[in-house]
């Protein structure tokens, strides 16, 4: 029984680490792509025609981040509580 639980923990840890690694990798790739697009566009668009403010302002991004965090907490809250009660 203990060996089975250990294997399960290792698999969950591997899945979590794989998910985190993939997320960081995808985020970095997207950042590089957007930067290269921005660099390319700035070469062809005159300075007077460039957008000064992003599509979403700072306040909108903060609201979006707050809603995202709230949704994650509501979604994974019961799972975290269950794992905490088992000593994880």
List, for residues 50-85, the tens digit of each pLDDT value. Answer: 555 566 667 777 888 889 889 988 998 888 888 888
Cβ atoms of 42 and 50 closer than 8 Å: yes
Encode pLDDT of 14-25 as tens digits.
999 999 999 999
Distance CA(57)–CA(61), nearest Å, equals 6
**38 class by beta-carbon count within 10 Å (0-12 exposed, 13-18 middle, 19+ buried):** exposed
Backbone φ and ψ for 2, nearest 5 degrees, come out as -65, -40
Backbone φ and ψ for 3, nearest 5 degrees, come out as -65, -40
pTM of the model: 0.40
């Amino acid at each position: 029984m203990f060996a089975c639980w250990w294997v399960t923990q290792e698999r969950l840890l591997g899945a979590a680490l794989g998910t985190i690694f993939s997320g960081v990798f995808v985020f970095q790739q997207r950042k590089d792509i957007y930067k290269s697009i921005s660099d390319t566009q700035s070469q062809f668009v005159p300075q007077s025609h460039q957008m000064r403010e992003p599509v979403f302002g700072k306040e909108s991004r903060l609201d979006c981040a707050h809603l995202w965090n709230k949704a994650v907490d509501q979604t994974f809250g019961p799972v975290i509580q269950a794992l905490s009660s088992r000593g994880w």
